[in-house]
Amino acid sequence: EEEGEKGTLKWKEGLQQKASEAFLRHQEAAPNLRKLVYGSVVEADDSEEDKEELGGLFRVSRPQKSKKFKANAVDCSRFIPDTSHNWDLEEMLNSIRDCFVTGKWEESQDAA
């Protein structure tokens, strides 16, 4: 009887660990925007400036130029559009056709 009980209980062993492993796998698979937003805040750190040496005498300091996060950049809410989109191309125009009432409707919503 004891053995039988052990058998039924075996799947319960390490449930928590299994669950956490599955969770982590899932987290890594999906591109995690949340981590991008909250995970690593890039801070302007003065000590990590890229420094090049010129002739072993001068140090060229290029602060913040290459950094994604610019602490002293212009405070502006405008979202610069993606320049790779060419709105003269038919292909590009077709990609948004169904956003309009004139486009194709979902079956459930189509009155026709």
Partner 1 sequence: MASQGLVYDGCNFFRQRLVLSTLSGKRVKIKNIRSKDDDPGLRDFEASFIRLLDKVTNGSRIEINQTGTVLFYQPGLLYGGSVEHDCNQQRSIGYYLEALLMLAPFMKTSLKATLRGVTNDPVDPTVDLLKSTALPVMKKFGIGGDGFELKVVKRGMAPGGGGEVVFTCPVCRTMRPVQLTDPGKIKRIRGVAYSVRVSPQMANRIVESARGVLNQFLPDIYIHTDHMKGANSGKSPGFGLTLVAETLNGSFLSAEMSSTPQGQGDPVLPEDLGRNCAKLLLEEIHRGGCVDSSNQSLALLLMTLGQQDVSKVLLGPLSPYTIEFLRHIRDFFQIMFKIEVQKPFEDERKGGDKVLMTCVGVGYSNINKTLK
d(CA 68, CA 48): 14
Give least dist CB 89 to partner 1, A.
11
95 lies in the site for partner 1, by CB under 8 A: yes
Give least dist CB 59 to partner 1, A.
15
DSSP class per residue in 16-67:
HHHHHHHHHHHHHHS--HHIIIII------GGG--EEEETTTEEEE--STT-
- How does DSSP classify residue 72? T
| 14 versus 103: smaller Cβ distance to partner 1 | 103
Q: Which residue has the tokens 């799947």?
A: 11
Cα of 5 vs its chain's centroid, Å: 47
74 lies in the site for partner 1, by CB under 8 A: yes
29 lies in the site for partner 1, by CB under 8 A: no
70 lies in the site for partner 1, by CB under 8 A: yes
Give least dist CB 6 to partner 1, A.
41
Q: Which two tokens stand for residue 89?
A: 């191309």
107 lies in the site for partner 1, by CB under 8 A: no
Site of interaction with partner 1 (CB under 8 A): 30-31, 33-34, 36-38, 41, 43-44, 63, 70-79, 81-82, 85, 87, 92-105
